[in-house]
A and B are shown apart, each in its own frame.
Chain A
């Protein structure tokens, strides 16, 4: 009986491992990470010291373009988004993780694809970006994975956009402390707060990808409710979803990658007394 169960378990692992063998997935990540979220946070803070957090002039009402899971290779959808960004009146664009599969040539392709964009682009790290020792290339080409940027509205009002590193499935102790201190320090003098991170916090859909551990989910739900965060925007799951908990909206974006038949992006419309989103599919 036991032997039979072990045999089937072994067979399942074997099939799962080899049937999904792909050059874009680093299976060593099941058992080890070449980088740790704590190490990435230390390096990100070093980067932040020499690269001040950006401030964008927004006006009272403005729009931010959001996309996730580009998974380069292909850059067709990204090029479309770039044109939209260049031609439109968007004040910023954020790519919320899984930009590439961790390989240096894909990071270079991403940089080259967006080379002619003159407006600010903010890149967030996802789990795929860390495969194949991808962190060193993310850091080399894109820099910090934990930072914020500010959009200045009229009448001395400003909005805070916080970009977090959840590529390892957890924010880690240091980043959590940084986030709480930041919210504590900045909440009172900012009009809206938007948090952007790759891995989904809530598990409102059936999915095989991991959300943070329950203790961390509850802590973040409490933190975002306590500080009146307006939006928490993630990618990772590849299919759009939205949920509301208290005064905070939790969004999941469609994957932008070329192979996705429902590829899409989102537009964040920020106004005097409201923040609203709009999902757009190609």
Chain B
């Protein structure tokens, strides 16, 4: 894929930042579950939080492909660091850019881009993961606003976000067309935050419940039109999925590099294990899948940049990259032998980090549904 000079420079910037500032801290972030403020600010100062945000609100409008390139490099440093970059560029930024009023854009975007605060994206509920029609959170119209009630779970950044984009039913009888989106100030009366979940991996970004108990949300914080929330969320997820695909490519790339370097150094039976065909074949398969995942991801990103409807491409990229990343990391552990199972080895962390990729932002099975739907569009008689 041909990249512009700007895209190449953004990739270089992200790679250098990752190698200098994330590589040395990744193990500690994993162990302590704390993402250092200084690193968060460094990501913000590098302009990585505003790549899909217009310049008028502090961003650079560098585009989705540029963003994917940067996210891949950051994820190569640490999967969790990519979440901090991906969120403002997709899940939290896009709904405001796409549906927000001028006043909402000015109020929420600059602080998010500068790293002053994090905006969470709250769609998932205990009984509504893959099936948003089952949402139970309601927003009932009242004088000057809405009263929000319900519980969201597995919300990234729930423990520290200042705001959340919350999907709630404003007209439950209308199904998906009765879902609306709101920007909710998480310091409002009636909001409570659950304890951060103890996750298998991707430590360093508090993930948990947000509970809304008669939370008043003013009319001015309704995002887009009433009933437009589901469509907005689906468009948002197209971008989010490219983020996950990029994260998958970055994590898999790192695992691949670790495997190559281990295979070259580790000697058994008097020679480097890389010289055994069984290891060589594993590396060949890893590399091929990695490149295929990368190209699918870049293609989906470039399609969005050129204004195409890219739901299917984004789903294919996310599906393939996430599944391949799990395989690639697993093979990297295999190549490491017993060492791959020991804490402190990078591949051990990657193995835990990578497992969520086929789960979040739509499971692999949801991606398959989206792809299948697209294939059959207009083909059924």
A in complex with B: no
Interface residues, chain B, with chain A CB atoms under 8 Å away? none
Interface residues, chain A, with chain B CB atoms under 8 Å away? none
